[in-house]
Amino acid sequence: MDQEKEKIIKFSRQKFFKEGFYKTTMDELAREMQVSKKTIYKYFPSKEKLVEEIVDDLINEIDCSVTDIINTKENVVYKFVRCLNMYNRYLIQLSERWQHDIQVHTPVIWQKIDTFRTDKIYEGLNRVLEQGKKEKLVEDFPNELIITAFTSTVQSVMNKDFILKSKFSMQQAFAYAFEMLLNGILTKQGLEKYRKMKDNFELAT
């Protein structure tokens, strides 16, 4: 990627994640980055296009991280804890304002995030559930029901209305959803491994 373009994406990503993007103008971005507005428009014809590329960048990072975790030779409980930690590290960067702006002002981009999240969860969970059953660490429940229950829960608790009305942050809501999933599907042996591992693992807070 062009270094100038990468700089714009990196700066805008940090600002948008923290403050949201709806009220931020391209003039403001240019002034804070100390570049001309023309330079930004050279790569991004609109603010929405900039937001879309930021989201694509984020999706690609998460996709690579999840794939790396799933492809390790560790047991399924280790993979669950690693995934929880990884998602927490991303969610802690995202303000409620970003969550609101992306859902309200760019619904097409939000749909891309939601579709990726659902597809990635389905693909990843299906693989690790099969592994977990072979390791006797996951109960022999139908994968489709487990995945449907989890994705439905995640979609509900990550919704802007839930976040705005509840006392939970996105990070807390996701962590609780993940915790409920694991407590429901892990065998006794799996839960013992999970509790020991969670105590010793550096979870993002």
Domain ranges of the chain: 51-200
Torsion of CA 85, 87, 92, 98, to 10 degrees: 180
Tokens encoding 85: 């930690």
pTM for this entry: 0.82
Is the distance from CB of 52 to CB of 109 less than 8 angstroms? yes
Percent share of the chain, pLDDT over 90: 60
Distance CA 71, CA 49 (A): 33
Is the distance from CB of 26 to CB of 40 less than 8 angstroms? yes
Of 197, 95, 51, 80, give the one whose Cα is nearest residue 150.
80
Fill in the DSSP letter of residue 72. S
pLDDT-derived band at 58, boundaries 50, 70, 90? very high
Fill in the DSSP letter of residue 32. H
At the fourth CATH level, which superfamily is domain 51-200? Tetracycline Repressor, domain 2 (1.10.357.10)
pLDDT, tens digit (0-9, with 9 covering 90-100), for 128-138: 999 999 999 99
Distance CA 76, CA 161 (A): 33
Residue 20 backbone class (left: φ over 0; alpha: ψ -120 to 50; beta: rest): left
Average of per-residue pLDDT across 13-21: 95
pLDDT, tens digit (0-9, with 9 covering 90-100), for 74-128: 999 999 989 888 888 888 888 889 988 999 999 999 999 989 888 887 888 899 9
pLDDT of residue 201: 57
Average of per-residue pLDDT across 32-56: 96
Average pLDDT along the chain: 89
Is the distance from CB of 96 to CB of 170 less than 8 angstroms? yes
